């Protein structure tokens, strides 16, 4: 099961395209007095911004029987189900937070609260998977 924020991806990739196209147009048309190095730097700056937006758009979480893979903007982390103690998402939180067995927390940027209905559904799925895979069976 994979969770990706749809709106974030659409906005990030659209903005990346607009920025790169704008920088190319700026380098060719608007800045005739610029040297070639300046024009190249404008385009490289646009590509750098596009790369940052891509890193934000690639965020997702993927669950399988052995654990959970959380891909955030600049870090990917693979967790076994036993490492995840709980998952919470309070009102106003931008994404769910995993409470880990080592006492740390990890945000799951792949479920974005701005997509209210979808985020609630994805969060419920993640909670159900956590309950199924991470909890010890009842000894009774």
String of DSSP letters for 48-107: HHHHHHHHHHT-EEEEETTEEEEE-SS-EEEEEGGGEEEEE--TT-SS-EEEETTS-EEE
β-partners of residue 106 are: 98
Report CA Rg, the chain. Answer: 20
Instruction: Answer with the residue of higher pLDDT: 137 or 4.
Output: 4
* Summary mean pLDDT of the chain: 91
pTM of the entire predicted model: 0.83
Task: State residue 59's pLDDT score.
Answer: 96
For the cut 70, the answer to whether the pLDDT of residue 10 exceeds it is yes
Q: What is the pLDDT of residue 105?
A: 95
pLDDT, one tens digit per residue, over 62-105 is 999 999 999 999 999 999 999 999 999 999 999 999 999 999 99
* pLDDT (0 to 100) of residue 136: 53
Higher pLDDT residue, 105 or 31? 105
| pLDDT tens-place string over residues 46-65 | 999 999 999 999 999 999 99
Structure confidence at residue 19 (pLDDT): 98
% of the chain surpassing 90 pLDDT: 83
């Amino acid at each position: 099961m994979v969770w990706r924020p749809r709106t974030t991806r659409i906005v990030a990739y659209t903005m990346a395209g607009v920025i790169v196209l704008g920088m190319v147009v700026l380098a060719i048309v608007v800045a005739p007095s610029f040297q070639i190095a300046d024009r190249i730097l404008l385009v490289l700056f646009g590509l750098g911004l596009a790369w940052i937006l891509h890193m934000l758009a690639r965020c997702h979480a993927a669950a399988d029987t052995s654990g959970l893979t959380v891909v955030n903007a600049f870090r990917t982390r693979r967790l076994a189900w036993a490492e995840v103690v709980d998952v919470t998402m309070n009102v106003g939180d931008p994404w769910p937070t995993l409470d880990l067995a080592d006492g740390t927390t990890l945000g799951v940027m792949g479920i974005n609260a701005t997509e209210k209905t979808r985020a609630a559904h994805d969060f419920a799925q993640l909670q159900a998977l956590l309950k199924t895979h991470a909890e010890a069976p009842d000894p009774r």
